[in-house]
A and B are shown apart, each in its own frame.
Chain A
Amino acid sequence: MIRWKSKSVPGLLMACLVLAGLTAVEAAPRKHVELDLLSEQTAVVPGQTVTVAVRERIEPEWHTYWINPGDSGEPTSIAWTLPQGFEAGPIQWPLPDVIPITPLVDYGYSGDLLLLTDIVVPKDAAGDNVTLGAKVNYLVCKDICVPEESEVRLTLPVAAAGAAAPSEHAAAIAKARATVPVPLPGSASYSVNAAKEELRLTVSADASLLNGTTDARFFPLGWGAVSNSAPQKMALDGGKLTLDLKQGETKETPDKLEGVLALTKGGERKGYVISAARGPDGAALGAPAKLAEGGGSGDGGIAERAAPSAGEAVVGDRPAADEGAVSSVALAILFAFLGGAILNLMPCVFPVLAIKALGFAKKAEGGHWQQGFAYLGGVLVCFAALAALLAVLREGSAAFGWGFQFQSPAFVLALAILFFVMGLSLSGVVSFGGGLMSAGDSLARKPGNAGYFFTGVLAAVAATPCTAPFMGAAIGYALTQPVAVLAAVMLGLGIGFAAPVVLLSLSPGLQHILPKPGAWMETLKQVLAFPLYATAAWLVWVLSIQTGSDGVMAAALAFVGVGFAAWLAGKTAYAPLRAKLVAPVLGVAAFALSLSLAETAGSVNMAASAEKAALSGETFTKARLDGLIAEGKPVFVNLTAAWCITCKVNERVALKSEAVADAFAKRGITYLVGDWTSRNHEITDLLHKFGRAGVPLYLFYPGGGAEPRVLPQLLTVGLVLDETKTKAKVAGPSSNKGA
C-alpha cells in the first residue's frame, strides 16, 4: 500500500467549543472531507520529480474552494513536511465549478478532488525510504461552513531510475492532470466601459478551439476587479470570443486580468489560463479606489500560498486589440473624417478655404504641399486641444456623476441658452470672438508656412460657432468612448476638415470645382440659425418636464436678458471699455439668475411629481409581481427614476394619458411602478434579468403564463395600447416565474 490513511487531528477546538456551548451538545464533529496522499509512482528517484496528490473525498452536497474562493470561503492550503532537500511546488488547481449561493457565487469543488503537487527529489536523496507529510487546512461548506484540518503522510522507497513504476493511482492522477487549466493557445485582452462598469474580455484563438462553444465562464484569479455573481454574457464570432463581465467592488482595472477561462463544448468543460492585457480603452478610467495590500488582483494572501503552476506560462501578453471594437472605431473615424470635410461648407470656413485656394492658384503650379501640411498642423492642434478638453471634462465629471449634471434643470437651461446665443450669432445679432479672430487673422497673414499654420488654427476656431451643433453627434459618440478613441475621432474630424486645403495645395487646379464665395454663404448661415433656435425650443420643452411652468418662465426671462445683453453689446461696440463691460455683465447675471430659478423650480417639481407617480400606480415589489404572475393576471411594469429624463418624458407623453389609463382599467392590467431613484435591489435584479443596466424599462406580462414583452424605450400612446392588447384570461398559477 502506498497511501496511509489520514491521521485525524481534531481541528479548531475553540470554534467547536463555542458552537457546542451555544447549541445543544452535538456529537463529536465528524469530518466532511476524507483525506489521503497519493503518489503517481511507486518510488522516488533521486534527481527526478514525482507528482503527488492530496485527495479530498468531499461529502455529497458539501464543497471546498478554489484558489480564489469567490464571494465567500477559503481555499485549501497545504503545508509540507519533507525530508532534507526535497522541494514541493505549488498546488495545481483543477478547473473549479461555479457554486451559486444566491445571491453570491463561490468557486470550488465537490465530490472527489485531487490537488496535484510536483515534488523535486534531490540528487543526493539517501536512505531506503522517505516520508512525505502534508498538513492540510481547508474550509468545507454546505449551508454552513466548517474549517477542518488533517495531516496526511506517505512513505515511498527511494529507487534507482528505471525502478520506479506507475503506481495504482497513476491513472487517477493523469485524469486529474487533464482537468488542470492549460495556457490558452491564443491571446486575450480586455477593455473597459467605465460608464457602465463593464469589462469585455476578448479571446482570440484558432476557430477550431472556439467553434461549438456553448458556454464560457471566466474565473478571476484575484479579488475585486470582477464581479463573481454577475452573469457573463458570451458572444462567439469565428476565431474570437467575447465575454462581458461586470466590474467588482474595487472598480480597479489591473494591467492584466488574470484567471481561468472555462469553455464548454459538447458537454465537456476545459480550462485555459489567460492573462488578458488591458486594451487601449483601459486608459479611460479614473483613479481606482485604494486597495488593501494584497487585496487587488493577484491577491497576495492567496498567491503566497500557491500559484496555479500549470498556468505560469503567461499568454496574450501583448495588448491584443479587440478586432470588433477596432472596426467600429474605424467606422467612427471614417465618419468623423467625412463630417470634417463637410464642415468646410459652413459659412465661417468656406471663405478661408476659397482665399487659400486662390492663393495656391496665383502662384506657380505645384510646390504648395508644405503649406498644405502646415495648415493641417494648425487644424490638428485645435482639434487635439478640443479632444483634451473633452477628455478632462469627461474624466472630471465621471468622478461626480455626469448623468446627474445632465438631469439638473440648470444644465439643460444652460444648454438651451447656449444654442439660443449661437443662433443669435448666426442671425447676425451678435458676433463672438471678433478680437480672437482678428488676432488670428494677423497671424494668418504671416508669410510662408507659419501663416498657413495659423490659418489652420483660425479656420478651426472660426468654424466653431457654426459647426458646434453639427459636431454634436461626433462629440456625443466620442464622450462615451475611451480617451484613445475620443482622440482618434477628434483628430479624424480635424484631418477631414483640413483635407480640402491639403488637396488644393497638392493640386491647385482643383479649385475650379469649388463654388464661388458670395452672398449665398450669408444666406446659408442665416438659415442655419433656425435649427439652433429649434434645439433651444426643444431643450426648453425638456426643461418644462423637469421643472414645470416656473422653469419655462426662467428660460424665457433668460432669453430676454441674453437678447438684451447681445443688443447692448452691439450698441456699445465702439463705446469706452467701462460701458462695453455692461453688456457681458448683464448677460452673465441674467444667465446665472435664470439657472438658479430653474434649479429651484426643478427641486420643487421633482418632489411634486414623485408624489404624483406614487398615486398613479402601485409600488413595484418582486413579491407583488410574482403574485400577479402566478394568478395569471396581466401586469405592466414601469421601472423609472426621478432623474431619468426619458422616463419622465414617456410618463408624460404616454403612460399618464387617459387613453392608457382607460385601457389598463378595461383590460384589467395592474400598473406597477418601480422607482429606482434610490437604489433598490429588486429593481436592479429585474433590470439585469432583461440585460439592462439602467432605466427606463417597460415590461408587459400578458398574463396566463405568457412570456413578458419588452417595450421600446420611447413610448407613445398608440404603442402602449398596441403592446398591451391581451386576452387577459385569468389562468391558473403559471410555471413562468417571471422576475
Chain B
Amino acid sequence: MSFLKPLAVLLASVAMTAAASAAPEVGKPAPDFSATDSKGRTVKLSDYRGKTVVLEWTNDGCPYVQKHYSTNNIQSLQKDAAAKGIVWLSVISSAPGEQGAVSGAEADKLSETRGAAPAAVLLDAEGKVGRLYDARTTPHMFIVNGDGTLVYMGGIDDKPTVIPSDVKAARNYVRAALDDLAAGKPVATPVTRPYGCSVKYKHS
C-alpha cells in the first residue's frame, strides 16, 4: 500500500508545519503568562479577558525610555488608557544587577516620582514574559484586545531617537492603535519596528 506512506508523511509534515512559528504574531492569540507585580500580586494576562491590555517593556535607565517619560508621553497614554478601562502593564525584564532591575518598592517609588499610572508593574527578572513575547527593546509595545488576540506589536512611535522634541512630531503608533480599537476598526498599522535599548535579559 504504497500510498499510505505519502499520506502519513503529508499528515506528519502538515502537523510539523503548524508548529513552525514560535514568536508572537499579530492576529493570533497573545501568549498567556502569569507574573508577579510590584505589590506581590500574581497577574495573569487571561484574567483581563474582555479588556484591552497594553504591555510596555521598560527600563528606567534607558535613554529611550527616559525620552518618553521626561516628555510625559507615556504617562498621558497610561492615564488616557485607564480612563477608557484599558489595562496598562509595564514589564521590567531586566535581570538582577542589570540596568533597570528594581525591587517592587523601587518600582512603585519610580511610578510615583514620574507620575506614571500603569495598572501594574510586572517584575520579570527571569525574562520569562519578555522571551515569551520576544520583547527586544525598551520601550517595546504590545496590545492585546479583549478576545486575547495580539493586535499590535512594535515601537511606541516612528521616531527612533533619544531626542525629546521628536516625541511631539512623531506618529504615536500606540495611541493610533488604541483609537482604532475604540472605533471598532482593525489596527491600521499592526507591526512596526521597535526601537530603543536592548532588554537587559539574564545571560543564559
On A, residues with C-beta under 8 Å from B are 12, 14-15, 18-19, 21-23, 71-74, 101-104, 106, 137, 139, 141, 143-147, 195-197, 223-224, 249-251, 289-295, 299, 301, 401-404, 406-407, 469-470, 472-473, 476, 479-480, 531, 534-535, 538, 542, 622, 641, 643-647, 676, 678-679, 681, 684, 693-695, 713
Contact = CB atoms under 8 A, between A and B. Distances in A.
B12 A14 contact: no
B158 A535 contact: no
Given A197-B21, A535-B3, A645-B15, A678 B31 contact: yes
B188 A290 contact: yes
Given A291-B191, A292-B193, A641-B19, A713 B164 contact: no
Nearest to B62: A145
B182 interface: no
A295 B191 CA distance: 9
A60 to B, nearest CB: 19
Contacts of B201: 101-104
Contacts of B6: 472-473, 476
Given A144-B99, A290-B189, A694-B19, 11 more contacts: A15-B67, A19-B61, A22-B61, A72-B194, A74-B161, A143-B98, A197-B21, A404-B18, A644-B15, A645-B15, A678-B32
B154 A292 contact: yes
Contacts of B70: 14-15, 18
B63 A292 contact: no
> In terms of DSSP, what is the predominant structure of the interface of chain B?
loop
B185 interface: no
6 contacts: A23-B61, A71-B136, A73-B197, A102-B204, A249-B23, A695-B19
A290 B11 contact: no
Contacts of B23: 249
A676 to B, nearest CB: 6
Contacts of B197: 72-73, 141, 144-145
Contacts of A407: 15, 18
Contacts of B18: 401-404, 406-407, 643, 694
A678 B200 CA distance: 25
Contacts of B171: 293
Contacts of A101: 198, 201
A694 B137 CA distance: 27
A402 B14 contact: yes
A694 B7 contact: no
Contacts of B136: 71-72, 104
A575 to B, nearest CB: 37
A224 B191 contact: yes
Nearest to A198: B20
A294 B158 contact: yes
Interface in B138-197: 153-155, 158-162, 164, 171, 173, 188-197
Nearest to A532: B3
B42 interface: no
Given A292-B192, A406-B11, A472-B6, A22 B19 contact: no
B83 interface: no
B1 A195 contact: no
A104 B202 CA distance: 12
Given A291-B189, A403-B15, A196 B200 contact: no
B19 A295 contact: no
A693 B193 contact: no
Contacts of B199: 72, 104
Contact of B131 (A73, A103, A301, A641): A103
A548 to B, nearest CB: 19
B16 A679 contact: no
Contacts of A643: 15, 18-19
A501 B4 CA distance: 30
A480 B13 contact: yes
A250 B191 contact: yes
Contacts of B13: 480
Interface residues of B, number: 72
Given A291-B191, A407-B15, A71 B158 contact: no
B198 to A, nearest CB: 4
A223 B131 CA distance: 20
A289 B11 CA distance: 28
A22 B4 contact: no
Nearest to B203: A102
A196 B11 contact: no
A480 B20 CA distance: 14
The 6 closest A-B pairs by CB, nearest first: A403-B18, A694-B19, A473-B6, A694-B16, A72-B198, A292-B192
Contacts of B160: 74, 301
B57 to A, nearest CB: 11
A644 B20 CA distance: 12
Nearest to B12: A646
Given A143-B98, A643-B15, A679 B31 contact: yes
A535 B1 contact: yes
B159 to A, nearest CB: 8
A693 B63 contact: no
Contacts of A713: 12
A223 B193 contact: yes
Contacts of B64: 145
B154 to A, nearest CB: 7
B60 A22 contact: yes
Nearest to B153: A249
A693 B20 contact: yes
Given A14-B66, A147-B63, A289-B191, A472 B20 contact: no
Interface string B1-42: 101101101111111111111111111000110000000000
Contacts of B12: 645-646, 713
Given A141-B198, A472-B3, A249 B191 contact: yes
B24 to A, nearest CB: 8
Contacts of B66: 14-15, 18-19
A197 B128 CA distance: 24
B164 A14 contact: yes
A292 B189 contact: yes
A480 B13 CA distance: 9
A141 B27 CA distance: 34
B7 A12 contact: no
B132 interface: yes
Contact of B110 (A19, A22, A295, A469): A22
A494 to B, nearest CB: 20
Contact of A646 (B15, B61, B110, B196): B15
A106 B197 CA distance: 11
Contacts of A22: 60-61, 110, 113
B158 A292 contact: yes
Given A14-B70, A15-B162, A476-B6, A681 B193 contact: no
Given A469-B3, A538-B4, A693 B19 contact: yes
A678 B28 CA distance: 12
A480 B14 CA distance: 9
Contacts of A14: 66-67, 70, 164
Given A12-B162, A643-B15, A645-B12, A679 B99 contact: no
A23 B159 CA distance: 27
A130 to B, nearest CB: 29
A71 B18 CA distance: 26
Contacts of B188: 290
Given A19-B61, A470-B3, A74 B195 contact: yes
A73 B19 contact: no
